[in-house]
Amino acid sequence: MAKEYWRWPEYRMTVGEKDWKSGKIITAGIDVGSVSSKTAIMVDGELYAFSLMRTGSNSPDSAQKTLNWALETTGIAQKDLHYIVGTGYGRINIPFANKAITEIACHARGANYVWGNTVRTVLDMGGQDCKAIKCDEKGKVTAFLMNDKCAAGTGRGMEVFSDLLAVPIEEVGELSFKVETEPQPVSSTCVVFAKSEALGLLRQGWPKEKVLAAYCSAMAHRVVTLLEKVGVEKDFVVTGGISKNVGVLKRVEKELKTTALPRNAKYDPQLAGAMGAALFAKALVEKERK
């Protein structure tokens, strides 16, 4: 089997320092996306543990796996969870979740948690969709837009490219800056066309990094168009898998002439949705207990 360059690393961590048993409300947010599945475990609204893995071809399984993995070694059992909120594409099919909330609401809520209440615009770049979200100081969505057809498949598109160019997906972003001058973006962000265009460029003798630069900037441009339709207000943050790709992120910032708040070292931005879900779970528990 050939090396799968698109495969990004899966991982889990326990970050909570105090004893979870002293917590009053223990919740989980499970984000089953089109490409990745994430679980955030929270104790009294503080991130305690999480996991991030690839979504399989069955969403209840994916949800269960990512939850189990997040709980692993923490000593928390599934039955100890007071409430579970599911989100992401697979949210409608997580049998053990108490409630489903969309990833749009969850990303806004999660961003508010990670970066604080000054966040007003969230850009979520996921596997299938891109979302430009505006929210208030509580992290409640006030407006949102999702990509149209021609810009679908953002994350998947990046996987296709990393495979095509035999560049490990985590290195795509950095590599795309190893060009002397920024090339014209590829004319299309459509995965199908971009791929055939890229092949043509390679045959013309373009180096990989230049092709990647052209693709990253095309993707950035498309995302910026979406953002401009909603209107970008500060503070601006980026979540989702592609947010880790500096090749896209920096080009988005450059075109918007705005910088996003820097990545909060404590939290993986791909987890924002799961964290938002876990926070909603907490709010729902509080509502029930009232």
Partner 1 sequence: MFEQMQNWYDKRHAYAKEWKKNHPGGKVLGCFCTYVPEELVYAAGVLPVRLLGSHEPQSVTEPHIFGMYCPFCRDVLAQGLQKRYDYLDGITISQSCLHIRQAYTSWQMHVPTGFSYYLPMPNCVQSPHALSYLKGEFLAFKNALEKWTGNEITDEKLRQATELVNTNRRLMRQVYDLRKQDNPPMTGLEAMYMVVSSQMTDKNDHSKLLEKILKELPGRKMDRQTGARLMIIGSEDDDTAFIKMVESVGATLVVDDHCTGTRQFWNETELKGDVLTSIAKRYIDRPACPSKDWPERRRLPHILKLAKDFNAKGAIIIQQKFCDPHELDIPAIIKDLKKNGIPSLFLEFDVTVPIGPFRTRVEAFLEMIGQDDLF
Partner 2 sequence: MAGAKYPTEQLKCWNKAKEIRENYYKNYAQAHDKGGLRWAGGAWSLGAIPAGLGDDVYPITGEPYGASIAFNKEFSIRCMEAAESKGYARDLCSYMRSYWGSIILNEYAFGGPFPKPDFMWQDHICCSHAKWYQVASELEGGVPVFCIDAAAGPYDEVTENRINYLVNQMHDGIAWLEKTTGRKYSDEKLIEAVHNECDATSTWAEICALNKAVPAPLEEKSMYALYVLGTLMKHSKIVADFYRELLDEVKDRVKRGIAAVPNERCRVMSDTQPPWGFLKIFRYMERFGCVSIGSLYTFGLIGVWEVKPDGTWGPRTTPRQKGLKIENRDQALRILADWNLSKPEWQHFYSPKLKSEMMIRIAKEWKLDGILLHYNRGCEGLSLGIAENRLALQKAGYPVMTFEGNMGDEREFDEARTTARIDSFMETLGLKKLE
Partner 3 sequence: MITAGIDLGSKTIKVVVMKDGKIIGKAIGLSGFDQREAAEGIFDQALKMAKVSRADIQSIMATGTGRKEVLAKGPISATGEVTEVTADAKGAVYFHPKARTVIDVGAEEGRGIKCDATGRVVDFATNEKCAAGAGTFTEAMARALEVKLEEFGKLSQQSTKTIPMNAQCTVFAESEVVTLVHANTPKADIARSVHDAIANRITSMLRRVGIEEEVVLIGGVAKNPGFVDALKRNLNMNITPLEEMDIAGATGAAIIAGEK
The binding site for partner 3 (CB under 8 A) comprises 32, 34, 56-60, 89-90, 92-93, 128-129, 149-150, 152-153, 156, 160, 190-193, 195-196, 199, 202-203
> Given the complex with partner 3, which of 129 and 268 has the nearer CB atom?
129
Minimum CB separation of residue 228 from partner 2 in Å reads: 5
> Given the complex with partner 3, which of 62 and 112 has the nearer CB atom?
62
Find the part of the chain contacting partner 1 (CB under 8 A) among 61-69, 136-144, 153-161, 217-225: 136-144
Distance CA 72, CA 26 (A): 15
Among 30, 81, 105, 151, binds partner 1 (CB under 8 A): 105
> Can residue 89 be called a binding residue for partner 1 (CB under 8 A)?
yes
Do 50 and 38 touch, CB atoms closer than 8 A? yes
Q: Is 45 left (phi over 0), alpha (psi -120 to 50) or beta?
A: left
Tokens of 261: 């708040």
Find the part of the chain contacting partner 1 (CB under 8 A) among 25-33, 42-50, 144-152, 197-205: 144-152
Among 7, 56, 146, 183, binds partner 1 (CB under 8 A): 146
E-strand stretches of the chain: 11-14, 26-32, 36-43, 46-54, 83-87, 99-100, 121-125, 130-135, 141-146, 236-239
Distance CA 168, CA 153 (A): 18
Tokens of 222: 């498309």
Q: φ and ψ at 143, to 5 degrees? A: -165, 155
Count residues near partner 1 (CB under 8 A). 23
The entry of partner 2, partner 1, partner 3, none that residue 74 binds, CB within 5 to 8 Å by partner kind: none
Question: Is it true that the peptide bond before 235 is cis, omega within 30 degrees of 0?
Answer: yes
> Can residue 78 be called a binding residue for partner 1 (CB under 8 A)?
no
Among 34, 74, 128, 225, binds partner 2 (CB under 8 A): 225
Distance CA 115, CA 189 (A): 30
Find the part of the chain contacting partner 2 (CB under 8 A) among 7-15, 59-67, 118-126, 223-231: 223-231
Minimum CB separation of residue 284 from partner 1 in Å reads: 7
From 151, 150, 115, select the one nearest 130 (Cα to Cα): 151
